[in-house]
Amino acid sequence: MNENMNLQEQLLELQKNMEQLEKKLAKQKKINKILVERVERSVDSVGSSYSMFEQNILLQQHVDKCTKEIEGRKQAEEMILNSEKRYKYLFEQSPISIWEEDFSGAFQYIESLREHGVKDFEAFFNENPQEINTCSQKVKILDVNNTTISMFKAGSKKDFLKNLASIFTEDSLSTFKGQMIKISNRETSYEGKCINKTFDGRLLNVSLRWNTVPGHEKDYSRVLVSLLNETEKEKAIEALRDNKERLQMLNKIIRHDLSNDFTVISSAVKIFKRNSDVTLLDEIEKRVEKSLNAIAGYRKSESYLDSNTGFEELDLLNVINSVAVEYPKIKFKIEGAGRVFGDETLISVFENLVSNSIKHGKASQIDIKISDDNDMRRIEFADNGTGIPEEIKENVFDEGFHHGESGNTGIGLHIVKDTIERYGGEVFVEDNKPKGTIFVLMLKKNMKQLER
């Protein structure tokens, strides 16, 4: 934004200097005209009252004075030419998109609305949004620089000006409304953000700034507008925000999953101390190995965050089988196959759905069905457990939700919901017949969907 402001200030200063020089030049032309007239009158008058010698002296004095004035005029013209060249160079070669516009038509229209009784223009434009379109049609684009053409992927300046309407979005009009409100308050500058479109349809996040050129504050006939493309910056901010959310989710998963395993290990150790039941050592070893594998998975997830690659294509059968093998006493029936885009936390999602059915629903069988639903992949986890009462279905995904004898059922399902939504999908609950619960996951099939 500072770069944007500094360059625009330079151009505004050049415009101001050029207009001052042009005024001086115009004044000098008038003076020269008067001097020439004086010389001509002097030639006519000196002949009768002065000698030839005196006439020559007077004539030479007038000529010298005119010559100096003409030299001053030439210097002023040269300064204007140099200023114009510098202005043109800064304008065309600037790395920032710069527009030179004429807002006088919009200003005159706003003044006519004022004469007809409009006082609160913000309220007026909110109640009459079509008036924003009317104002926009009265703005003339005088010129745009080369950066503008390349930024919007236009073929040429002519193509750009001819198809100007194609770059604007609803957000652009909202920003334009803010500009019109500034003009209605007779302010001479504006700063804001808006979203435009390139000629090939990509969205651009831009910072917009405009100032009236000095000397045109009364009619807004010359306004310099600059646009700074912040799309990549916004993407980087969004990526950081996404990574932060993923780290928070990873932290929840670690706390939830490992605490479950450590609880089992702790209970097994206590029982072993009392009964010396060696079969418990197998369970302890199994849970330790499971925890170590989980930690290895979390490290892989961290590497995704560090590289910012995020998602990969996952085979659903592989993910399901890696979870099912941990529950040898549960009967699994798997139907269908498919691939989705996600990350390592999808394993934890499936793990939480299965453990929730067993721990809270007392299920002994889980049927998993994979099918296609347009551009989504539908995964159903149907158990034969006790089911979920209708009155709490909307709350089971809330963090920390408590229900029934088993107490806290929320953190696992909350992780499921947050993760699936981060993938751009959804999760919901249905009743299974004759009894039990169906958790339905809708996941996107391809990377392009995730990028939208």
One domain for residues 244 and 299: yes
Query: How would residue 152 be classed by pLDDT, with cut points 50, 70 and 90?
Result: very high
Domain end (from 269, 289, 307): 307
The C-alpha angle with vertex 228 and arms to 225 and 230, in degrees rounded to 5, equals 150
Most confident stretch, 49-53, 389-393, 435-439, 442-446: 435-439
Domain end (from 273, 291, 307): 307
One domain for residues 7 and 73: yes
One domain for residues 136 and 249: no
Domain end (from 69, 93, 117): 93
Which stretch of 77-81, 86-90, 254-258, 306-310 has the lowest confidence by average pLDDT? 306-310
Peptide bond into 95 cis (omega under 30): no
In this predicted structure, the answer to whether residue 159 has a pLDDT above a threshold of 80 is yes
Query: How would residue 44 be classed by pLDDT, with cut points 50, 70 and 90?
Result: low
Which tokens in the block code for residue 188? 């001479």
- The reply to whether the predicted model has a pTM over 0.75 is no
Which stretch of 11-15, 50-54, 289-293, 432-436 has the lowest confidence by average pLDDT? 50-54
The pLDDT value given to residue 308: 42
In this predicted structure, the answer to whether residue 13 has a pLDDT above a threshold of 90 is no
One domain for residues 62 and 135: no
One domain for residues 217 and 288: no
One domain for residues 171 and 240: no
One domain for residues 43 and 112: no
Which tokens in the block code for residue 151? 């930024």
One domain for residues 303 and 324: no
Q: How many domains does the chain have?
A: 4
Instruction: Decide: 382 and 437 in contact? Cβ < 8 Å.
Output: yes
One domain for residues 121 and 32: no
**Residues of the domain holding 360:** 311-452
Q: What is the overall mean pLDDT for the chain?
A: 78
In this predicted structure, the answer to whether residue 25 has a pLDDT above a threshold of 60 is no
In this predicted structure, the answer to whether residue 258 has a pLDDT above a threshold of 80 is no
The pLDDT value given to residue 408: 43
Q: For the domain that residue 120 is a member of, what is the CATH number?
A: 3.30.450.20
Q: What is the mean pLDDT of residues 173-195?
A: 93
Q: For the domain that residue 428 is a member of, what is the CATH number?
A: 3.30.565.10
One domain for residues 343 and 399: yes
Query: Which comes out higher in pLDDT, residue 114 or 416?
Result: 114
One domain for residues 119 and 170: yes
One domain for residues 348 and 444: yes
* Local structure of 202: helix, strand or coil: coil
Residue pLDDT, tens place only, 298-341? 555 554 444 444 578 899 999 999 999 989 999 999 999 999 98
* Local structure of 405: helix, strand or coil: coil
Residue pLDDT, tens place only, 113-144? 999 999 999 999 999 999 999 999 999 999 99
Instruction: Decide: 31 and 65 in contact? Cβ < 8 Å.
Output: no
